[in-house]
Each structure stands twice: as structure tokens, then as C-alpha cells.
Amino acid sequence: MTSLVTSPTRTLTYREAIREALQLEMERDANVILMGEDIGDYGGVFKVTLGLLDAFGPERVIETPIAEAGFVGAAIGAAIRGKRPVVELMFMDFALVAADQLFNQAAKLRFISGDQLRIPLTIRTQQGVGSGTAAQHSQSLEALFMQIPGFAVALPSTPSDAKGLLATAIRSDDPSIVIEHKMLYASKGEVPEGEHLVPFGQAAIRRVGSDLTLVSYSRSMQTVLGAAEELAASGIEAEVIDLRTIMPIDWDMVLESVGKTGHLVVVHEGHRTGGVGAEIAARVAELAGADLRAPVGRVCGLDIPVPYAASLESAWLPQQPDVVRGAKRVLAR
């Protein structure tokens, strides 16, 4: 279940909630530093870090050249020496420019060293389609970070989770990536004041149901919750699980729900082949195959690059009717 909310809440945007987590963690621990492109006066291209340079100064909010491998590597070195860098990668796609530093270095140096060091590094980035950013600025690459052991991977779908998951990431002694969604920054929700931590590996049930389990995360949660309402209108009660982190995954919650419903559909923007849904389908089949009354369904981004035109981009993205159709197909088998 979601963490118990004890402090009062107020409405914030996803963007404001992330900024609040950064500010609170920077106030709490002088070793927390921010690094990234245009994150100072400009506040980052999505304005998440706006005002933090003024508040904390240039030794805490460090603007970097356009050199993703270079500044991710520098963050790793600083982390080894006790800093807690929070690196903004402007677009998830740019993680591929820094891939060696992320996957060969950050993900492995603690292990290679025989446990002599820690890398408390947080990568913050955003991904996803919806604004016509085309194939090199729209990719959902979370499955890469799930496949290569090294990073905890969080994908908040709400402002509250955006704050709580980021705070957890910053306090973690191992590398984490918090993947925001570019279409969620203006979304609003209730966010606890003050310290708010959402632990990794704890999914949230966003809707209770008994006929079918829908598992998703990030912006797709909106699509899935819409689909669940549509299904309810035709008498199908879907249980909706927001994974919140895909590494680690809250298998207990997924399996418990599937044990109840016997039907599972995974929904995400990332490509289907080799994606998060493939892992969930395989694991559920391995661990709870007997509970399944039908094969697991997947509703995902198409296995082609993301197109630019609005009509094409919209067709590429799993939409509410796709989820409804996917759910009914699984229930019909």
C-alpha cells in the first residue's frame, strides 16, 4: 500500500513536487549537489530546478557543458568521494550518450571493487511521447536500466510519488534513476508537506477490482485508470496497480492481485519487445502460472521509432481504447 501520509498536504504540480524534494534534500544534506545542462538561471528545459541556483549557489547547482558522458562520469567520481549528486539528463535519450558511464561505471564500480565504495548517484530525467519531440527525444528506455543490474528505477505517475521517490533516490547509497514524464510536469495532485519518502519496491493499488489486473506506471497510469472506468461501465472491474519502481518490482502485490483476478494486462509506453511487460509476463507465469486463467496481455508502444506527426504519434502511443481492447481480449480467452 501507499506509505502512510501523516503530514498535511496541499496541491502541487508534478514539477513543483520534484523541485520541493530537491530543495528539502539539499537543505537536509550539504553533500547533495545538482548537475546538468541549463539547470541554473534557466531552471532546466522543463523548469524543474528554477530558483535553486539562487537558493543554493553555484557550488551546489552546477551547470555543465553539453557533455553527458563527461558530467555523468564526474558525478560518479564525486559520489565515490561522498557527494550525493543529482544529475539532470535533459532527455532520457541522452542517457545513451552517457551509456558507458551509466552502465559500465556507475552500475558496476561498487561490485568490481569488492564492495570498497558506494555511488550515491541519482539520475533525474524525463521521457515519453505527447509533444511531438520525435524519435530522438521521446523514447521510453526504462527497460534498459532494468536489464543491466545497477540502477534502481523509479517512474512516478503522481506529484506525491515524484517527490517521495526522488527523496528516496537521493538518500540511497546506490545509483538510482528517477524517470519523469514530459507530459506530467503540469499535472496536479495532493503532496505531503515536509519530509516525504516513498520506498522503492512498494507498488500502489490505484483502483480495486476483482476481474482483471492492470499493471502500469508513469503517464500510462492515466490511460489505464480511464480504461478501467470504461471497463466498469460494461461490468468489468479492473484492479489497477501503479508499480512506481520497476527495479525493484513489488512482486508480492502483483502476484496477490493476479491470484485474485486470474487475468493480467501490462501497459506501458516503452516498446513491447524486450520491455518491462515481457519481464512481468514471464515472472508471473513462472511464479503464479496456475493462477492465470488466460495468457498475460501487453499493451505497449509500437516496436518502431516514435514518429513526429500528431496523428502518427497518437497512433504509436497506447491509448485508452487499446487498453480496453487488450483487457477484453484477455478476458475473452
Active centre residues (catalytic): 68, 137
Q: Given the complex with other proteins, which of 152 and 212 has the nearer CB atom?
A: 152
Near other proteins by CB under 8 A: residue from 29, 174, 190, 237: 174
d(CA 40, CA 276): 34
Q: Under rule CB under 8 A, which residues in 252-311 are in contact with other proteins? A: none
Q: Under rule CB under 8 A, which residues in 5-64 are in contact with other proteins? A: 33, 59, 64
Q: Given the complex with other proteins, which of 77 and 295 has the nearer CB atom?
A: 77
Near other proteins by CB under 8 A: residue from 117, 208, 282, 315: 117
Residue with cell 524534494: 21
- Of 139, 166, 163, 143, which is closest to residue 154 (Cα–Cα)? 166
Counting beta carbons within 10 angstroms of the beta carbon of residue 175, is it exposed (0 to 12), middle (13 to 18) or buried (19 or more)? buried
123 binds other proteins (CB under 8 A): no
Instruction: Map residues 83-102 to x or -, x wherever contact with other proteins holds by CB under 8 A.
Output: x----------------xx-
Residues contacting residue 256 through CB under 8 Å, at least 6 positions apart: none
Count CA atoms within 13 Å of residue 211 on its CB side. Answer: 14
Q: How far is the CB of 321 from other proteins (least distance, A)?
A: 36
Near other proteins by CB under 8 A: residue from 67, 186, 208, 304: 67
d(CA 178, CA 166): 6
Near other proteins by CB under 8 A: residue from 6, 8, 10, 114: 114
Residues contacting residue 266 through CB under 8 Å, at least 6 positions apart: 214, 215, 216, 276, 277, 280, 281, 296, 297, 298, 299, 300
Q: Under rule CB under 8 A, which residues in 195-254 are in contact with other proteins? A: 200-201, 247-248
- Of 162, 124, 208, 226, which is closest to residue 21 (Cα–Cα)? 162
Q: Which stretch binds other proteins (CB under 8 A): 1-9, 137-145, 148-156, 235-243?
A: 148-156
Near other proteins by CB under 8 A: residue from 2, 13, 50, 69: 69
Q: Is 236 left (phi over 0), alpha (psi -120 to 50) or beta?
A: beta
Judged by DSSP in three states, 124 sits in strand
| Chain residues in the site for other proteins (CB under 8 A) | 33, 59, 64-65, 67, 69-83, 100-101, 104-105, 109-117, 149-150, 152, 174-175, 200-201, 247-248
